[in-house]
Structure 1
Amino acid sequence: MNWQGVFPAVTTKFHQDGTLDMGMFFKNIDAQLEAGVQGIILGGTLGESSVLSLDEKISLTSQTVAYVSGQVPIVLNIAEGATHDAVYWAKKAKELGASGLMLLPPMRYAADHREVVSYFKAVAESTDLPIMIYNNPIDYKTLVTIPMFEELTECNNIQAIKESTRDISNVTRMRNKFGDRYKILCGVDTLAMEELVMGADGWVAGLVCAFPKETVNIYNLVKAGKYEEALSIYRWFLPLLELDIHPKLVQYIKLAEQLTGIGTEWVRAPRLTLIGEERIKVENIIKRGIENRPNS
């Protein structure tokens, strides 16, 4: 598993009646692959995993694996409240042909240091799939600390970290402590260029769902040391990237996908599509971005 490059956390596409829209889903996947992403992440927050049935998650994973057919790795997100459920999905992911896992700390229960480490180890020991730990204390209330990561070094298949602490210096802090033991991928769109400059290996991206070429271009330019070229795109992109750090990021990004022609805005309740002044405001941000798009 090569935890480098851009990994879109893709949205799950629905028809207006709430059923899965695999045709539009694959249209978006095609756009991601054409842009040069290095992996696809299923079942994250943007994927609305919490409102998918077990059968839908299985179908979405198996169909994506078959459609992508090894062009890039498929990573399945695991966000569960019970350890046995997380272990189930780790085993099921392997069975369905996924290449790796993105793993959150236990959901809904504020686990302590020992419990978080035990949870991660239990999942890691249940599979040989490579794992990326998702460290997002802002949204999910559990900080995976450096001492925790130190204990997890004994799990060889825990290989990467989705860095979403909002603390840019944490990239340097992790490098100072662990060297290259863990790959680090930025998980916050509005900090992506900054973290890549500081040595992050990749970018788990959100607005890539609507703007794949620009996202990949920023990554490639930074890694080539072409900072001024990257910055010109990043400055254009920032008002759009800020849609990723709002509680309604799913609705915002899905609307952006619809306006760029590679998605639909339909979400599942309790989420509702945007209306009124909020919709007008978000549409205007997206339309300005499209009108001034560097690669249009």
Structure 2
Amino acid sequence: MNLEWKGVMPALTTKFTADDTLDVDLFKVNVQAQLDAGVHGLVLGGTLGEASTLSEHEKRILTTETVAMVKGSVPVLINIAEQTTKAAILAAQQAEEDGAQGLMLLPPMRYKSCDRETVAYFKAVASNTTLPIMIYNNPIDYKIEVTLEMFEALLVCNNIQAVKESTRDITNVTRIKNRFGDRLKVMTGVDTIALESLIMGAEGWIAGLVCAFPAETVAIYELQKVGRIKEAIHIFRWFLPLLELDINPKLVQNIKLAEVYTQLGSEQVRAPRLPLYGEERTAVIKVIEQALKVRPKLPEYKNL
């Protein structure tokens, strides 16, 4: 199965009702806004999607509902974040059954596997699905780094095709390109350095604040792609205070609050998470409201 690793792919938040069930209707409102803005794919059940709190049944509902809604207009990826190799393989096979077109694959959860164990885990999943795979490399949050040497071993698996590069080291984009060329596509995974990473050769952006600001995110990608860097920088500089809400332990609550302000979501999170409160909430609201006051008028960015 082929998947074009490029463009903006939102790491979607999962919407919940006040009764702590999936709010599929509100989720679809956000998905439609992403499609209208021109995103190039959708990633379900990631960190922003509160993956660790979702049941297997809920993940399958999100996948099947999204696949049915987009009707093949963009690829739908589901995140796999499991404790055991067996569970990860099962999740990959279920995703394939449910119509997903790709996987985002995290290292084993809870157990801090060594390099050999991590490679074996990824290979085992890859060999049990035909779906294209993007390895999520985020040593800051998940404490396991997938090194260039590990990727060398992993790329014997033809369906391991991309990396969500979240080491927060822009030079790693160049290292990957120098080592692997086009064999390993780079999708930048850190909002605050996304533009720099794209300019240095990343093919796409697994984005967070796109959940609340889809048009601005896609505009930045499309403008830089055709060399209109100054225009992209102008939007990105406006965007940065908002993007910094993504590199925070409460990124889920932050971004869901931003979604409320742009009418694309609610603040409902799943316990043990709770909505923002007190001074913390006030500070985030200040960032959002200030950004909305000076929200830039976007140039025509589609079909450039």
Q: What TM-score range do you get, normalising by the shorter chain?
A: over 0.9
Provide the C-alpha distance between the structure 1 equivalents of 2:12 and 2:285, rounded to a whole number of angstroms. 20
Counterpart of 1:64 (choices 66, 76, 89) is: 66
Is the Cα–Cα contact under 8 Å of residues 214 and 295 in structure 1 kept in the other structure?
Answer: no
Provide the C-alpha distance between the structure 2 equivalents of 1:70 and 1:17, rounded to a whole number of angstroms. 32
Equivalent position amino acid for 2:150 in 1 = M
Give the C-alpha shift of residue 276 in structure 1: 1.0
Say what the alpha-carbon RMSD is for the aligned residues. 0.8
Secondary structure, in 3 states, of the residue corresponding to 2:111? coil
Equivalent position amino acid for 2:254 in 1 = Y
Structure 2: which 5+ runs fail to align?
299-304
Give the C-alpha shift of residue 295 in structure 1: 3.3
Answer yes or no: is 1:41 the counterpart of 2:43: yes
Answer yes or no: is 1:164 the counterpart of 2:176: no
Give the C-alpha shift of residue 73 in structure 1: 0.5
Provide the C-alpha distance between the structure 1 equivalents of 2:196 and 2:34, rounded to a whole number of angstroms. 23
Q: Deviations over 1:3-22 (max 9, x none)?
A: 00000000000112211111
Provide the C-alpha distance between the structure 2 equivalents of 1:115 and 1:219, rounded to a whole number of angstroms. 36
Counterpart of 1:272 (choices 264, 271, 274) is: 274
Q: Deviations over 1:4-43 (max 9, x none)?
A: 0000000000112211111110000000000000000001
Is the Cα–Cα contact under 8 Å of residues 260 and 290 in structure 1 kept in the other structure?
Answer: no
TM-score (norm 1): 0.99
Task: Report the counterpart of residue 253 of structure 2 in structure 1.
Answer: 251
Secondary structure, in 3 states, of the residue corresponding to 1:129? coil
Give the C-alpha shift of residue 68 in structure 1: 1.2
Task: Report the counterpart of residue 28 of structure 1 in structure 2.
Answer: 30
Is the Cα–Cα contact under 8 Å of residues 51 and 268 in structure 1 kept in the other structure?
Answer: yes
Give the C-alpha shift of residue 115 in structure 1: 0.5
Secondary structure, in 3 states, of the residue corresponding to 2:164? strand
Secondary structure, in 3 states, of the residue corresponding to 1:173? helix
Equivalent position amino acid for 1:68 in 2 = V
Answer yes or no: is 1:216 the counterpart of 2:225: no
Secondary structure, in 3 states, of the residue corresponding to 1:20? coil
Q: Deviations over 1:33-79 (max 9, x none)?
A: 00000000001010011111121111111111111111100000001
Secondary structure, in 3 states, of the residue corresponding to 2:110? coil
Percentage identity across paired residues of the two chains: 63
Task: Report the counterpart of residue 232 of structure 1 in structure 2.
Answer: 234
Please give the residue correspondences for 1:130-141 in structure 2 after superposition, counting only pairs within 5 Å.
130-141=132-143
Provide the C-alpha distance between the structure 1 equivalents of 2:24 and 2:295, rounded to a whole number of angstroms. 27
Provide the C-alpha distance between the structure 1 equivalents of 2:245 and 2:64, rounded to a whole number of angstroms. 30
Secondary structure, in 3 states, of the residue corresponding to 2:183? coil
Provide the C-alpha distance between the structure 1 equivalents of 2:58 and 2:106, rounded to a whole number of angstroms. 20
Is the Cα–Cα contact under 8 Å of residues 42 and 61 in structure 1 kept in the other structure?
Answer: yes
Provide the C-alpha distance between the structure 2 equivalents of 1:295 and 1:10, rounded to a whole number of angstroms. 24
Please give the residue correspondences for 1:114-125 in structure 2 after superposition, counting only pairs within 5 Å.
114-125=116-127
Provide the C-alpha distance between the structure 2 equivalents of 1:266 and 1:173, rounded to a whole number of angstroms. 40
Equivalent position amino acid for 1:253 in 2 = I
Counterpart of 2:199 (choices 182, 197, 200) is: 197
Greater shift, 52-61 or 111-120, is seen at 52-61
Pairs aligned (count)? 296
Q: Deviations over 1:135-159 (max 9, x none)?
A: 0000000000000000111100000
Q: Deviations over 1:147-173 (max 9, x none)?
A: 000011110000000000011000000
Structure 1: which 5+ runs fail to align?
none
Task: Report the counterpart of residue 288 of structure 2 in structure 1.
Answer: 286
